[in-house]
């Protein structure tokens, strides 16, 4: 059976049942379970330090009202981080390369931040659609533009994450295919291509972490506008 480069992004099936939900929930099993003791081993210490660092970075731009979202944002950050990093392993499926999965994460959380603003400060939330001092003739067009930019935010979140991870996976597969194809005929060029592949893999590890952070950071900034 001939496989294309895009077959790696197809959701896996078992007996006709899609396994994308299992691939999303499986990374949570890799984290050590909490114990009654404060510090159990080095892995738990590293996990606690990482959670503290992530929570501190995400909560810094927010005021005290936004700290109620600390558990949701930190959990989302850890989920995206583990899914993106595990997706770089060979013969694995990355759910965050699916636009539908990313939109399922982005749209409800963005909509929750929007509802929070409309409930707590409706005048200020609606005031973002029309800046002060706008000329009368530009009011209808400006309201339309601001509304469009507001509604496109969840789409931008999902597309950004999907496009960056998909492009990285495609580049890794293209260069690895070229490395194996050049090995019998031009070993020196194949070794050079393999070194480029190694550097690209390191870059994709950084991209996987950065994109998870950017996704959650933008959600926290949207939340800050509405509280």
Q: Which helix (H) or strand (E) holds 39?
A: none
Determine, yes or no, domain membership for 14. no
Alpha-carbon distance of 181 to 35, in angstroms, equals 50
> What is the model's pLDDT at position 68?
85
pLDDT at 177: 86
Q: With respect to residue 15, please indicate whether it lies within any of the assigned structural domains.
A: no
Domain tally, the chain:
1
For residue 7, being part of any structural domain is answered with no
pLDDT tens for the chain, residues 1 to 227: 445 666 666 777 777 776 777 777 777 777 766 666 666 677 777 778 888 888 888 888 788 887 888 888 888 888 898 889 888 888 888 888 888 889 999 999 999 988 888 888 877 777 777 777 777 777 788 888 888 888 899 999 999 999 999 988 888 888 888 888 888 888 888 899 889 989 999 999 999 999 999 999 999 888 888 87
Q: What is the pLDDT of residue 137?
A: 79
151 within some domain: yes
Assess if residue 6 is contained within a domain.
Answer: no
Query: To 5 degrees, how large is the angle CA 79–CA 81–CA 83?
Result: 70
CA 212-214-215 angle, 5° bins: 65
Q: Measured between alpha carbons, how far is 213 from 81 in angstroms, rounded to an integer?
A: 8
pLDDT at 214: 92
**CA 226 to CA 124: how far, in whole Å?**
8
Q: Does any domain span residue 4? A: no
Q: Which domain holds residue 197?
A: 20-226
Place of tokens 């592949």: 197
Domain annotation covers residue 11: no
Q: What pLDDT is attached to residue 160?
A: 92
Q: Alpha helix (H) ranges present in the chain?
A: 20-25, 42-59, 70-86, 99-120, 122-127, 139-151, 153-182, 187-225
- Residue 45 in tokens: 């210490």
Question: In this structure, is residue 200 part of a structural domain?
Answer: yes
- Total-model pTM: 0.82
Structure confidence at residue 7 (pLDDT): 67
Position 6 scores a pLDDT of 67
């Amino acid at each position: 059976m001939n496989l294309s480069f895009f077959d790696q992004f197809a959701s896996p099936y078992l007996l006709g049942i899609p396994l994308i939900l299992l691939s999303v929930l499986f990374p949570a099993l890799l984290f050590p379970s909490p114990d009654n003791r404060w510090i159990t081993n080095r892995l738990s210490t590293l996990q606690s330090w990482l959670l503290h660092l992530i929570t501190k970075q995400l909560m810094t731009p927010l005021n005290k009202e936004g700290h109620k979202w600390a558990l949701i944002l930190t959990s989302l950050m850890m989920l995206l981080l583990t899914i993106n990093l595990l997706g770089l392993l060979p013969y694995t499926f990355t759910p965050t390369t699916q636009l539908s999965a990313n939109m399922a994460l982005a749209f409800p959380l963005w909509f929750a931040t929007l509802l929070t603003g409309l409930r707590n400060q409706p005048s200020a939330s609606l005031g973002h659609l029309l800046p002060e001092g706008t000329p009368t003739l530009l009011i209808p067009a400006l309201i339309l533009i601001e509304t469009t930019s507001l509604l496109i935010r969840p789409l931008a979140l999902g597309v950004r994450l999907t496009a960056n991870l998909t492009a990285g996976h495609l580049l890794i597969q293209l260069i690895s295919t070229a490395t194996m194809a050049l090995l019998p005929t031009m070993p020196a060029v194949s070794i050079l291509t393999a070194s480029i592949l190694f550097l690209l893999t390191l870059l994709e590890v950084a991209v996987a972490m950065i994109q998870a952070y950017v996704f959650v950071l933008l959600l926290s900034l949207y939340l800050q506008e509405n509280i």
